[in-house]
Structure 1
Amino acid sequence: MTIEIKQLRYAVATADTKSFSRAANLMNIKQSTLSRKITLMEQRLGVTLFERTTRGAVPTETGKAFLAVARRIVTDVDNLKTTARAVHYGEIGRLVVGFSSSLSAGNLHMALGDYLDRYPGVQLDGVEAGCEKLLSGLQSRIIDVAIHGCSLSESGISKRSLWSERLMVALPTEHPLAQAETIFWTDLRKEVFVLPTLCTGTVIGEILANRLSGIGYTPNIILQETGHENILGMVPFGKFITIIGESALGVTRPGLVFREISEPTGQARLDISAYWRKDNDNPALQRFFKLIDERYPNLELTPAEPSQTPDPSP
């Protein structure tokens, strides 16, 4: 006894629409064809799957049990197709990048865009997470490279400095500092800060605490298990402010103004680095660092120092 996957799809569509005619329209075939296929399947199974009435088609008790299995089979077949397409899409490799900053703008946005343009056959997947999950992902080989502002100090993990981005304070438009030409850390000493735990918030919180504690103030910092987007959405209500990296400025946000924070040596900045396992020989990762070396030369290295960056494929 042979049952075709098409017959299972027809039966599932009929159960979902409770009508042979609507199911036929959904499957883009003639109603007579769909009805005949289902009837033939019922005959081969020796059971009645649907009660035919003037109001449509209703699954029988036997039909309900059969359709539950049929639905799982159809889903599994569709998942196999998706997997096959993904394998084809990543025909010259797969790269998983862990990150915690916004991809709407900034250096990471441009670097990943350039990578996809140069290597269109690579499947590029992203994992947004905080420091601990990124480190865990590297250790378990779920993530190939983590791009973050924190310090992932762990045996077997290599580090390469990439770039830095300005730190910006997000203020309600009615905030007294919104019109200030220059903002220093001391101007923020009485503020309530809400920072996310899911992104670079913990790292920014450490910078904030170090800067204000160094001049005799203890900042009021609240960490929330959410992302920058949700926190920025609440800042206009005036209960707190937040600090973000400039890569999160890619989208216009009503009710907010963003200002740089000045320090004696210039603007406050967040240093971003790449982390990866030393034993990761993924060719897609090597190609990623080839592009990074072109765009962002590792100026920290002297001629006598060998780079830790994986040797790129030609």
Structure 2
Amino acid sequence: MVRKGDRILPIQVRHLNYVVAAVDHGSFRRAAVALGVQESAVSRRIRELEERLGTALFIRSPGGVKLTQAGKQFVQRSRKALSEIGLAKAEVSAIGRGEDGHLQIGIFSSLASGFLSDLVQAFCERHAAIKLTFIDGNPSEHLAAIRQQQLDIAFITGAAEWPGFASQQLWSERIFAVLPSNHPRAGDPKVQFSVLAHEAFIVSEAAPGEEIHDYLVQRLADLGRHPEIHQHAVGRDNLMRLVALGRGLTVTSEATTAAHFPGVVFRPIEDEILPFCAVWSSSNENPALAGLLNLARSMTSVAEQPAFSFLFPEKEDDVRQDALTT
């Protein structure tokens, strides 16, 4: 902007375009032809700009125009400004079309295999320019992050209504018991909780350890057992190693079973199914989020997984934390 007296006179993008075109074409007439405007418009706007700047940018002659020293400096800056404006317009346009941008995704399931893994792979193939950031956590942490706009979407367990959020059930996974490879039931094609009820179990203190703990308590309590469950401050890999060493059994969702952990086997627990859903804020206008949701819906069989969406007045005390309860 240029100050004149008590007024601030803006320098417009078209001023810059006219000046640069005049330099590139050597005359106002040829610049006007290239820009598709009248020569008088180019001449008038450049004269107006010179008045605002308080200095001449061009030396005019019948053969065309040449830059003054001040004009050379101004054009150098103008080209950089126009380049930045062009880049900004292209970036914003790409984000608006969902072709570029950033998605922050909360996950509660393994990416080793299954629906979520397939969804991420398909989305990356279609939208390679969109940056994806993944955050592990439990449902209550993810919901708080969505509320604070720190996450765009979370894929969590359960088929409940989530007050204050939009949600859609997308897929289900079987629940597997994780056994040492020398366990008496390791050769069975599937197992029942009733035959494991006397066993000791181990879970991680990190997500989803708390939810697995609550899940085990409920399932084993239904069998009249007070379960022996030990928590360890380790990640999934070391938890699996502890199972292999005979420190206890654990359970996991089907997606994890594609990963290889020496010394353990995965056996499905009969009749145990875990639904998964996407949860997001209905006020989130991130175009990349809309693209991810559309793709997820297209990959979901409506006949097998009825979809639902909720938006209720937000009640802090109503947010469910027992996500593994089905």
Instruction: Say if 2:170 and 2:277, in contact at 8 Å, map to a contact too.
Output: yes
Residue 281 (structure 1) aligns with: 285
Structure 2: runs of 5 or more not aligned: 1-87, 312-326
Residue 59 (structure 2) aligns with: none
Which whole-Å CA distance do the structure 1 matches of 2:160 and 2:190 have between them? 33
Residue 254 (structure 1) aligns with: 262
Pairwise CA RMSD of aligned residues? 2.7
Correspondence for 2:110 among 96, 102, 112: 102
Residue 210 (structure 2) aligns with: 202
Correspondence for 2:221 among 196, 213, 218: 213
Instruction: Say if 1:236 and 1:256, in contact at 8 Å, map to a contact too.
Output: yes
Q: Which string of whole-angstrom CA distances, capped at 9 and with x for unpartnered residues, describes residues 42-97 of structure 1?
A: xxxxxxxxxxxxxxxxxxxxxxxxxxxxxxxxxxxxxxxxxx9xx89976221111
Residue 65 (structure 1) aligns with: none
Q: Describe how 1:7-18 pairs up with structure 2 within 5 A.
A: none
Q: Which string of whole-angstrom CA distances, capped at 9 and with x for unpartnered residues, describes residues 171-230 of structure 1?
A: 111111112344111111111111224333333333322222112112212233433222
Q: Which string of whole-angstrom CA distances, capped at 9 and with x for unpartnered residues, describes residues 137-191 of structure 1?
A: 1111110000111578654212211111111111111111112344111111111
Q: Structure 1's 307 and 171: CA in aligned 2 closer, same or farther, altered over 3 A?
A: closer
Correspondence for 2:128 among 96, 120, 137: 120
Q: Which residue identity lines up with residue 172 of structure 1 in the other structure?
A: P
Structure 1 or 2, whichever has the larger Rg, is 2
Which whole-Å CA distance do the structure 2 matches of 1:167 and 1:157 have between them? 26
Please report how far the alpha carbon of residue 123 of structure 1 lies from its aligned counterpart in structure 2 after TM superposition.
1.4
Q: Which residue identity lines up with residue 260 of structure 1 in the other structure?
A: P
Matched position secondary structure for 2:198? coil
Correspondence for 1:234 among 230, 238, 242: 242
Matched position secondary structure for 2:247? coil
Q: Structure 1's 257 and 239: CA in aligned 2 closer, same or farther, altered over 3 A?
A: same
Instruction: Say if 1:193 and 1:242, in contact at 8 Å, map to a contact too.
Output: yes
Residue 53 (structure 1) aligns with: none
Instruction: Say if 1:145 and 1:276, in contact at 8 Å, map to a contact too.
Output: yes
Residues 147-156 or 204-213, more deviating? 147-156
Residues 245-254 or 220-229, more deviating? 220-229
Structure 1: runs of 5 or more not aligned: 1-83, 310-314
Q: Describe how 1:156-235 pairs up with structure 2 within 5 A.
A: 156-235=164-243
Which whole-Å CA distance do the structure 1 matches of 2:116 and 2:151 have between them? 16
Which whole-Å CA distance do the structure 1 matches of 2:162 and 2:268 have between them? 33
Instruction: Say if 1:150 and 1:203, in contact at 8 Å, map to a contact too.
Output: no
Which whole-Å CA distance do the structure 2 matches of 1:112 and 1:158 have between them? 20
Q: Which has the higher contact order (CA 8 A, sep 6+)?
A: 2
Instruction: Say if 2:137 and 2:208, in contact at 8 Å, map to a contact too.
Output: no
Say whether residues 1:269 and 2:267 are aligned partners. Answer: no
Instruction: Indicate the percent of aligned positions where both proteins have the same amino acid.
Output: 27
Scaled by the length of structure 1, what TM-score is found?
Answer: 0.62
Say whether residues 1:136 and 2:140 are aligned partners. Answer: no
Which whole-Å CA distance do the structure 1 matches of 2:288 and 2:242 have between them? 39
Instruction: Say if 1:158 and 1:275, in contact at 8 Å, map to a contact too.
Output: yes
Q: Structure 1's 201 and 236: CA in aligned 2 closer, same or farther, altered over 3 A?
A: same
Instruction: Say if 1:170 and 1:257, in contact at 8 Å, map to a contact too.
Output: yes
Please report how far the alpha carbon of residue 298 of structure 1 lies from its aligned counterpart in structure 2 after TM superposition.
4.3
Which whole-Å CA distance do the structure 2 matches of 1:251 and 1:180 have between them? 20
Q: Structure 1's 223 and 157: CA in aligned 2 closer, same or farther, altered over 3 A?
A: farther
Residue 50 (structure 1) aligns with: none
Instruction: Say if 2:173 and 2:255, in contact at 8 Å, map to a contact too.
Output: yes
Q: Structure 1's 254 and 151: CA in aligned 2 closer, same or farther, altered over 3 A?
A: same
Please report how far the alpha carbon of residue 307 of structure 1 lies from its aligned counterpart in structure 2 after TM superposition.
5.1
Which whole-Å CA distance do the structure 2 matches of 1:131 and 1:307 have between them? 17
Please report how far the alpha carbon of residue 291 of structure 1 lies from its aligned counterpart in structure 2 after TM superposition.
0.3
Q: Which string of whole-angstrom CA distances, capped at 9 and with x for unpartnered residues, describes residues 226-273 of structure 1?
A: 33222002111112111111111222221111111113xxxx121111
Instruction: Say if 1:301 and 1:307, in contact at 8 Å, map to a contact too.
Output: no
